[in-house]
Amino acid sequence: MRTIKNIITLFLVLFFGKTVVGQYAYFPDRGTITFEKTVFLKNLIKRYGAYSKDEENRNAFKGLGEAAPENQVLRKTLKFSPDEVMYEHIAEDYPEVTQGLMQMGIFESGISSYQNLKTKEFKSTFELGGERIVIADSMLKIKWKITNEYREIAGYQCRRANGLVLDSIYAVAFYTDQIPVSGGPSAFNGLPGMILGLAVPELHYNMFATKVELSPVTISSANLLKKKDKPLNRKQVYDKLNAVVGGYLGVKVYNLVMGCYYL
């Protein structure tokens, strides 16, 4: 009788032990996600033209749009832990036309960012017009409305949420509560799970995870910064660049450019 009892006890221990391991694997909170960000260049440049303040700028953007490729795919990685998210650009060789548009600041030339979900600290680096810009500010507050629409992304069941960010920019996100970290790519955050899909119609890009790897990761915001960096908050960056190019571009185009770099 004792032997049978011991066998049953051992079975229960093994069963519940496997269940606990299975739950941990099913609700991971550490790993690396690979994203593909598709920027629809012709449509983005067309919007710049529509927002232009005068005929000269409209014609300039029209010429750029005719030379631009239909779209450009950028690859990103996102490392996550319970309290931190590090989003990094993967540098690659791009077509000459694409490189020219990046150098002009028409669209991002490599945004990387860090979010501390506990302290709400945010840092970001990018290049605009050949100048390295470093932002140190608080995380963006995004107004989300969760819907009942679902889709599968990178093997995870994701739920749709519609958001409003920077007061007026509409975004669609797909998040999974199977990864219980309230973060996402770039500056996006604030949902009850990790964002694996994102679309920002006004900025003409979408971003979807292609691979999720669950493993311990090391995250440090110090990896973003260089010794000579002088971080600014978002308003300081906005004012600094506005003084240089804002008058030439006009308010609507300049705000669109900054939206592309903030998000």
Domain ranges of the chain: 31-139+200-262
Q: Which residues of the chain, if any, have pLDDT below 70? A: 1-27
Q: What is the pLDDT of residue 14?
A: 41
Q: What is the pLDDT of residue 8?
A: 40
The Cα–Cα gap between 129 and 243 comes to 14
Find the distance separating the first CA and the last CA of the chain, reported in whole Å.
66
**Cα distances (angstroms) measured from residue 185 to each of 111, 124, 182, 208, 222:** 10, 12, 11, 10, 18
CA 165-99-56 angle, 5° bins? 75
Packing angle of the helix pair 41-51, 251-262 (nearest 10 deg): 150
Q: b vs e for 207-227, b when ≥16 Cβ sit within 10 Å of the residue's Cβ?
A: bbbeebeeeeeebebeebeee
What does pTM read for this prediction? 0.88
Q: What is the pLDDT of residue 27?
A: 54
Bridge partners (DSSP) of residue 209 are 35
Instruction: Give the list of residues 6+ apart from residue 79 with CB closer than 8 angstroms, or none.
Output: 31, 32, 85, 86, 88, 217, 218, 219
Q: What is the pLDDT of residue 3?
A: 53
Q: What is the pLDDT of residue 10?
A: 40
Q: What is the pLDDT of residue 5?
A: 47
| φ/ψ bin of 29: left (φ > 0), alpha (ψ from -120 to 50), beta (otherwise) | alpha
Q: What is the pLDDT of residue 227?
A: 83
